[in-house]
Structure 1
Amino acid sequence: MTPEMVMGLAYQGMRVTLLLAGPLLITALVTGLLVSLFQAATQINEMTLSFIPKILGVFLVLVLAGPWLLKLITGFTRELFMNIPTLVS
C-alpha cells in the first residue's frame, strides 16, 4: 500500500463524510439562524424554542435526501470492500 493510496482513501473518506453530514448541518444552521432572527424580532428569549424546528428540519432533510445519502455511503463501502485485495498486496 503506497502513501498515495492512503491519501486517496483518506480524501475519499473525508469527502463522503462531508457529503453525508453537510445537508444536515446546513439545515440545522439555517433553521437556527431563522429562529434566532425571529426571537430577536419578537424579543422572545426562550432558549429551547429552536430545538423543535431544528429537529423537524433535519428530519425533513433525512426523509428527502435519505435515499441519496444511503446510496452514497453504500457505494463508498462497496468500493472499499472491492478494493481490499489491491490494498493488501
Structure 2
Amino acid sequence: MGDGDTIALAGQQALWTALLLGGPLLVLLLVIGMAIAVVQALTQIQEAALAFVPKMLALGIALLLGGSAAAGIMRGFTTTLFDRIVAVGGAG
C-alpha cells in the first residue's frame, strides 16, 4: 500500500470515527428537539430555555453514560493512526 493510500485510509477512518462518536448524540438531540417543538407548538409556549435545557441535560447524561466507550473508540483510532505514521515514516 502506498503512502497516498495510507493517508486516504486514515482520512476515511477519521470520518467514520467522527460519525461513530457524534452520530448517536446528534440523533438523540434531534429526537428531543422534535419532541420539544411538538410540545411548544401544541401549548403555544415559545420559551427558548424550554428547548435548550432538556437538550443539554440529555447531552450531559449521554456523555456520562457513553464517555468511556467514546474514549475507547478514540484511543483505538489514535493508536492505529500513530502505528500507520510510524510505518509510513519508517522506524529508526
Instruction: Answer yes or no: same fold by TM over 0.5.
Output: yes
Report the Cα distance in structure 2 between the residues aligned to 1:84 and 1:45, rounded to whole angstroms. Answer: 52
What count of residue pairs does the alignment treat as equivalent? 89
Deviation at 1:84? 2.1
Q: What is residue 56 of structure 2 aligned with on the other side?
A: 55
Q: What is residue 27 of structure 1 aligned with on the other side?
A: 28
Deviation at 1:24? 1.5
Q: Which runs of 5+ in 2 are unaligned?
A: none
Q: What is residue 9 of structure 2 aligned with on the other side?
A: 8
Q: Spell out, residue by residue over 1:7-64, the C-alpha distance to the aligned partner (whole angstroms, 9 max, x if none).
A: 1111000000111111221111111111001101111111221111000111111111
Q: What is residue 37 of structure 2 aligned with on the other side?
A: 36
Mapping of 1:68-83 within 5 angstroms? 68-83=69-84
Report the Cα distance in structure 2 between the residues aligned to 1:51 and 1:77, rounded to whole angstroms. Answer: 33
4+ residue segments displaced more than 4 Å: none
Report the Cα distance in structure 2 between the residues aligned to 1:52 and 1:4, rounded to whole angstroms. Answer: 45
Q: Which runs of 5+ in 1 are unaligned?
A: none
Query: Aligned-pair RMSD on alpha carbons?
Result: 1.3
Q: Is the 1:23–1:61 contact (alpha carbons within 8 Å) kept by the matching residues of 2?
A: no
Secondary structure at the aligned position of 1:82 is classed as: helix
Report the Cα distance in structure 2 between the residues aligned to 1:80 and 1:19, rounded to whole angstroms. Answer: 16
Report the Cα distance in structure 2 between the residues aligned to 1:78 and 1:3, rounded to whole angstroms. Answer: 19
